[in-house]
Structure 1
Amino acid sequence: MSKHYDWIVVGAGVIGSISAWRLQQRLGRVALVEADEPGGKATGAAAGILSPSAEAVDAGPFTTLLQASRKRYPAMVEELQDAVGMDVGYHPSGVVQIAAAPDEVSTLRKRLAWLDGVTWMDESDARPFGGLAAIYAAQEGQVHPPLLVKAAVKAGIAAGVEPYFGQPARLLLEHGRAVGVSLPSGTIYADAGLIVAAGAWSSIVTAHWSAPIPVEPIRGQIVSFATDRPLMPHIVFHGHQYLVPKRDGRLIVGATEDRAGFDARVTASGMVHLAQVVEGFNLSRDRLYLERVWAGLRPKTPDGLPILGPWPGLAGLYVATGHYRNGVLLSAVTADAVLAWAQGEPLPLDLAPFRPERLLAVRSADNG
């Protein structure tokens, strides 16, 4: 088999599936390639949190990126749901970020200066959430990642995207250009360009390069509980530990972080850690009924920031990966960036801090 497309997107998680849908809407002739099932890796394991306030640590470009994507979410979800007639679980439930110690209170208060749409909660308001103080982001919330990917894939295919699922890809390079991918079923070619959005597996897709895309998998373990009744109205964060109440009554508790390669098995130590998270939020264990536990592999770059932009020295190749804990949140702005690259139009915001060159320069220095 040999077939030509304008654009090939490698990776059908939340980033790749939404990007392929956008490309097909505007440009046509798009192939979406996935080694597994759509959303079967990091996206399918994600809690679906849409919270810049929980991830932003300063007033820099990453915070701008997070907030820009969150603001795009309502319109993107509305368009997607209208296109396929299905609910993706989008819910602006609000996010509370607590400070549990005096030194955390001052750190949290500083965020008010550079976070949009955030209000302060004093001790009387924060105490029910287990905090001495808190910030509250009313417009932040959550989505159901598997449903989001399902809807994006469905919308893309309805618009004309051709899927190649269950087919590991190997990028093909000729004369300094990315020309297509080799699949078990044959070769497909990208006449205009190729997008790598394969998350932690981006390094595997490019493993035959002298310098593969620098992402590594970070395992995150999560537990879901059934409850007799809703325990809280909002998502609650303390650091990177969180409680996510779902509208069906489930409570998601996460998450651990450890390096385990591509091993996505749940460990006893991970479960002990999650039990400690439950204790830290002062939840009654007698009211939580274990539903399931799972793990996902998040794509982390050396500096923890995503890689967004054309790959240096290879014409026609663009990278949209390394979103780490924020793939679901950043999917909206990343898809807009992919479309801007493809159309040769101005980017939705300054993405220079996330271009691949920053990591390649560091790697060259490390290698002497």
Structure 2
Amino acid sequence: RESSWAGGGIISPLYPWRYDDSISKLAQWSQAHYPAITRMLIDTGGPDPEYLKSGLLILEPTDTDRATAWSRRFDQPLHLIDLEGTAQCEPGLDTEATEAVWLPEVAQIRNPRLTKSLYHAIKQKITIHEQTEATELLIEQGRVRGVKTPTGILEADRVIICAGAWSSNLLSDIVTPPAIEPVLGQMIIFRHQPGAITRIVLHNDRYIIPRKDGRVLVGSTLEYRGFDKHTTEQAKQELKAFALAHFPGLGEAEIEHHWAGLRPGSPSGIPYIGPIPEIGGLYLNAGHFRNGVVLGPASTRLMADIVLDRTPILDTEPYAIDAKR
């Protein structure tokens, strides 16, 4: 129940035009494949991840020229709208924003349901060692031979480290670890009326996400305090104030839950996807920062292409461990 469970589930980077093109390419591949992935997971009998194309409404961006250039480059529908257009897009929104960006194709997914459904699907085909910490990599003559755990050794001639914010820990004793650090995000969720809010709203780097059942997620903080995952009353009140400023009707709704997760922060948010150069058979797939859900399918497919020596879906160079970020 870390960042994969804790995130908001927006299937798009926030302000996507502000990221390197390598992020947009991964995101675009994932976005194209999420509907089929969702159908496949439902067909296996797992929980419905509730893929929902609700669109993303971004209030008062300061760089609309970059936004429109990005939309043309990646063929992404994007509309610049005024105050009247914003009111039509999300009638319940209280805002004086005279300019907004509307991305109608952006979808969302419910992270807890997605992870449960993925677990249900993969456990039918592979062995999962739950609650089993990999404490050490086993290296012989420059190649990985497996991992050591408290319950014994798991032998393997290929090992992929995909441990989120903890990924550098396993590498620190054998190579200079890549720059991956924990970045805390706190969120709250309201129990509200279904249909009262229909669009994802983003303003000043914080967002409001309406779910099908009426629940409304609000996030997120960005805190650098190591692996401390405690929530704070200050963050809760700040997120509540942000939500009520945009949707006053939420003042009558109950805050159902307040939680936090640790993102795997990396320079520029570009994930590390590829082999560890110094150790044969050892790979890394981590450092997705705020975009784990949207980049997950593409980075997993790219990692599989690399490990299996297939033609990759994208140029692998931007994601290499030693690539400049």
Same fold (TM over 0.5): yes
Query: Which residue in 1 is equivalent to 2:80?
Result: 120
Give the number of aligned pairs: 317
For structure 1, which segment, 173-182 or 231-240, has the greater mean C-alpha deviation from structure 2 after superposition? 231-240
Distance 1:108 1:213, change over 3 A: closer
Distance 1:279 1:85, change over 3 A: closer
Contact 2:132/2:150 (8 A) holds in 1: yes
Query: Which residue in 2 is equivalent to 1:236?
Result: 201
Query: Which residue in 2 is equivalent to 1:248?
Result: 213
Residue by residue over 1:244-294, the C-alpha shift from the partner in whole angstroms, topping out at 9 and shown as x without a partner, is: 001111110001101111111101332233134225425345233211101
Query: Which residue in 1 is equivalent to 2:51?
Result: 90
Structure 2 gap segments, 5+ residues each: none
Deviation at 1:241, TM superposition (A): 0.7
Question: Aligned equivalents of 1:342 and 1:58: distance in 2?
Answer: 27
Distance 1:288 1:109, change over 3 A: farther
Give the aligned residue type for 2:308.
Q
Give the aligned residue type for 2:49.
V
Contact 2:190/2:250 (8 A) holds in 1: no
Contact 2:26/2:299 (8 A) holds in 1: no
Question: Aligned equivalents of 2:80 and 2:210: distance in 1?
Answer: 21
Question: Aligned equivalents of 1:85 and 1:303: distance in 2?
Answer: 35
Distance 1:175 1:186, change over 3 A: same
Query: Which residue in 2 is equivalent to 1:218?
Result: 183
Deviation at 1:41, TM superposition (A): 1.0
Matched, 1:55 2:12: no
Secondary structure at 1:162 match in 2: coil
Matched, 1:157 2:123: yes
Question: Aligned equivalents of 1:244 and 1:110: distance in 2?
Answer: 26
Give the aligned residue type for 1:148.
L
Question: Aligned equivalents of 1:175 and 1:239: distance in 2?
Answer: 51
> Map of 1:63-78 to 2, 5 A cutoff?
63-78=24-39
Give the aligned residue type for 1:99.
E
Tell me the TM-score normalised to structure 2 length.
0.90
Query: Which residue in 1 is equivalent to 2:323?
Result: 358
Q: Aligned Cα RMSD in Å? A: 2.2
Query: Which residue in 2 is equivalent to 1:262?
Result: 227
Contact 1:108/1:134 (8 A) holds in 2: no
Contact 2:19/2:268 (8 A) holds in 1: no
2:107 aligned to which of 133, 141, 144: 141
Question: Aligned equivalents of 1:190 and 1:184: distance in 2?
Answer: 17
Residue by residue over 1:286-334, the C-alpha shift from the partner in whole angstroms, topping out at 9 and shown as x without a partner, is: 2332111011100011332111111112111111100011111111101
